[in-house]
Amino acid sequence: MNVTVVICAYTLERWDQLCEAVGSCADQTLVPDEVVVVIDHNEELFERAHATFTGARVIRNRSTKGLSGARNTGVASTSGEAIAFLDDDARAEPDWLAQLCVPLKDDDVAGVGGWIVPDWPGEPASWFPQTYYWILGCSYAGLPETGATLRNPIGANMVLRRSVFDEVGGFTSGIGRIGKVPLGCEETELCIRYTSARPEQRFVLTHEAVVHHRVPMSRLSWRYFRTRCWAEGVSKAAVSSLVGSRNGLSSERRHLLRAMPSEIGEVAARAPAPPAAIRDDDRADRHRRRHRGVRARPRSGGGAAHPDRARRRRAPTAALDEGGRGRAEPVRRLTRRIGWVDAQAAHGGRCATPRRG
């Protein structure tokens, strides 16, 4: 089986990690037929990567900006029977690709997800709940054993057959990370779309295909924890608007019922108290929310509707997905606050709660 590895990158801030990711692909026991590095609309990064990674093929993202468009560009530029995806801030164990492809010997397996271990900046964060390691882009407590069926693998470490893309098209634009905006779920929607079309096919998990995912210090804060959870909710709402909440939230329901109760007490016992500055910020945020917009309300029943209410009722604009054969996205602009999420990420989570309207 011909296997291509696709790595998508967007920033020079991760240059050292990108070099490790590409280098780890060259050290595989199962040598990939090709390594493709897709640069997401960053010309300086493209020039540097093109000059440095002589053993890989470095290309520009020709699709929409963001992880979905970059992955679609990578898939379209290759001819391998299977496409493996590795994040630009992850490094693979030497037997990663060999172990990842073992389940593909079963013709009913359309894709495989590997195991993602956090690469901490120092000592492991003991307060961070393992059931929430998905916030770090890592495998989390509650996932099933090797060989179990998944709704979808985690995109930082997965391999998909080309037939998945031939059957249902590419990753949907408009969901998935764009730069530092911590959205996601593009692989979730793709896998649900595929298994809906081919219910006899499945995606499976293997713990033996291991990669180490870098965890920056900026992600080890309560502010980022809270922001990332909110962004995941936005992403899941977007996926549910595409595939329905039954499929879009099936794994989350199981995880909530099985894995979460056992950890809630432990986390509460060992969680550090937030710093006084954060508590003061939270109180100020609550005060602003409580008093926001009071003077703008109409005084009588016959007046015009409040402009904020009119905006909330306004139908969202649909977007067109270039990577999915012209599928129109019914993704609602729940991401009206995306500018706030982007600001949170850019400023290390120091932005105030978003204003409506």
Is 70 exceeded by the pLDDT of residue 295?
A: no
pLDDT given for residue 110 in this prediction: 97
pLDDT confidence of 8, banded at 50, 70, 90?
Answer: very high
Asked if residue 334 has pLDDT above 70, the reply is: no
Note whether residue 124 is domain-resident: yes
Diameter of the chain by CA atoms? 74
- In this prediction, residue 286 has a pLDDT band, given cuts at 50, 70 and 90, of low
Residue 43 lies in a domain: yes
> Which is nearest to 337 in space by CA: 235, 241, 248?
235
Average pLDDT over every residue of 23-37: 97
Nearest CA to 210 among 67, 80, 98? 98
Tell whether 287 is covered by a domain. no
The token duo for 167 is 């059957």
Average pLDDT over residues 232-239: 65
Judge whether 318 lies within some domain.
no
Q: Check which CATH number belongs to the domain holding 37 and give it.
A: 3.90.550.10
Lowest mean pLDDT among 74-88, 126-140, 218-232: 218-232
Question: In the chain, pLDDT over 90 holds for what percent of residues?
Answer: 46
Least confident of 54-68, 73-87, 177-191, 241-255: 241-255
Residue with the bigger pLDDT between 333 and 273: it is 273
CA–CA separation, 44 vs 244, rounded Å?
40
Greater pLDDT, 66 or 283: 66
Mean pLDDT, residues 199-216 taken together: 96
What average pLDDT does the segment 3-15 reach?
Answer: 97
Mean pLDDT in residue range 335-350: 41
Q: Is residue 315 part of a domain?
A: no
Between CA 328 and CA 240 the distance in angstroms is 15
C-alpha to C-alpha distance for 311 and 121, rounded to whole angstroms: 43
292 CB-contact burial (10 Å; exposed 0-12 / middle 13-18 / buried 19+):
middle
pLDDT at site 238: 63
Asked if residue 310 is part of any domain, the answer here is no
Mean of pLDDT values over 254-259: 58
Bridge partners (DSSP) of residue 115 are: 210
Q: Which residues contact 18 (CB under 8 A, 6 or more apart)?
A: 7, 9, 37, 49, 88, 89
| Structural domain for 83, as ranges | 3-267
Residue 320 lies in a domain: no
Q: How many domains does the chain have?
A: 1
For the cut 80, the answer to whether the pLDDT of residue 255 exceeds it is no
- Tell me if residue 320 falls in helix, strand or coil: strand
pLDDT band at 347 (very low <50, low <70, confident <90, very high): very low
User: d(Cα 184, Cα 78) in Å, to the nearest integer?
Assistant: 24
> Who has greater pLDDT, 113 or 335?
113
Q: What is the pLDDT of residues 46-104, one digit of tens each?
A: 999 999 999 999 999 999 998 999 999 999 999 889 999 999 999 999 999 999 999 99
337 in a domain, yes or no? no
Mean pLDDT over 255-278 rounds to: 59
Instruction: Please enumerate in sequence order all residues whose Cβ is within 8 A of that of 311, keeping only pairs 6 or more positions apart, or say none.
Output: 357
In this structure, of 170-174, 283-287, 293-297, the range with the lowest mean pLDDT score is: 293-297
The pLDDT, as a whole number, for residue 124 is 85
pLDDT higher than 80, residue 9 = yes
Q: What is the pLDDT of residues 83-93, one digit of tens each?
A: 999 999 999 99
**Lowest mean pLDDT, pick from 108-117, 246-255, 338-347:** 338-347
